[in-house]
Chains A and B, each alone.
Chain A
Amino acid sequence: AQSVTQPDIHITVSEGASLELRCNYSYGATPYLFWYVQSPGQGLQLLLKYFSGDTLVQGIKGFEAEFKRSQSSFNLRKPSVHWSDAAEYFCAVGANTGNQFYFGTGTSLTVIP
């Protein structure tokens, strides 16, 4: 069965510092992987996705993620965090059943000025 684990419930970083949010997945085949961001009071917005090819994918808002099959990971990174990046971040894996997502439990990011 497909599953997604986000080990960090909450992360606090200083503005300008680098960021890495962890995501591990369990999937029997080549996974389709996604990162979504949820700003306060808003719905989820797609940051980036990985289907195949280059294992380092670029997304919106300066985010990137790297697929590592050997580690079953798809970690999200940003070199320099801005205060506006404070939000909740969800990793998701695409499943064949019902053509739907399985979401992780989310990581809440706080940015300190």
Chain B
Amino acid sequence: DADVTQTPRNRITKTGKRIMLECSQTKGHDRMYWYRQDPGLGLRLIYYSFDVKDINKGEISDGYSVSRQAQAKFSLSLESAIPNQTALYFCATSPGGYVYGYTFGSGTRLTVV
């Protein structure tokens, strides 16, 4: 099994629908991150969590919410999906910040129609 697992891998949803992207990890890392990747824009941070009780907004958090259900699980929700949220979403984990490097999941490709 992968160290960082994202589900679903692909999802097509309609405008206005609520959708949850899930991330689970077996690395035992405290820190978890959600990134969004758009062509020509690279990766941008949506939310990050240093532990179960510590959740922080990234640079593009509007329209998104997160839940850290356990050390190993970090979910991203779109309460009311809109087409410009169509993107590739990555979850990442780290034991203690960027100096240790991040472990990325394989991504969730989300299309909002």
Contact = CB atoms under 8 A, between A and B. Distances in A.
Contacts of B105: 43
A49 B99 CA distance: 8
Contacts of B31: 99
Interface in B94-113: 97-99, 101-102, 104-107
A104 B4 CA distance: 23
Contacts, number: 57
> Taking each of A45, A100, A101, which has the highest tally of chain B beta carbons within 10 Å of its own beta carbon?
A100
A44 B107 CA distance: 9
A98 interface: yes
Nearest to B35: A103
A9 B56 CA distance: 31
B102 A32 contact: no
B104 A98 contact: no
Interface string A40-73: 0111111001010000000000000000000000
A49 B48 contact: no
Contacts of A103: 42-44
A90 interface: yes
B92 to A, nearest CB: 8
> Taking each of B44, B48, B90, B98, which has the highest tally of chain A beta carbons within 10 Å of its own beta carbon?
B98
B41 A34 contact: no
Nearest to A93: B98
A100 to B, nearest CB: 6
B38 to A, nearest CB: 9
6 contacts: A43-B92, A95-B98, A100-B58, A101-B98, A103-B44, A105-B41
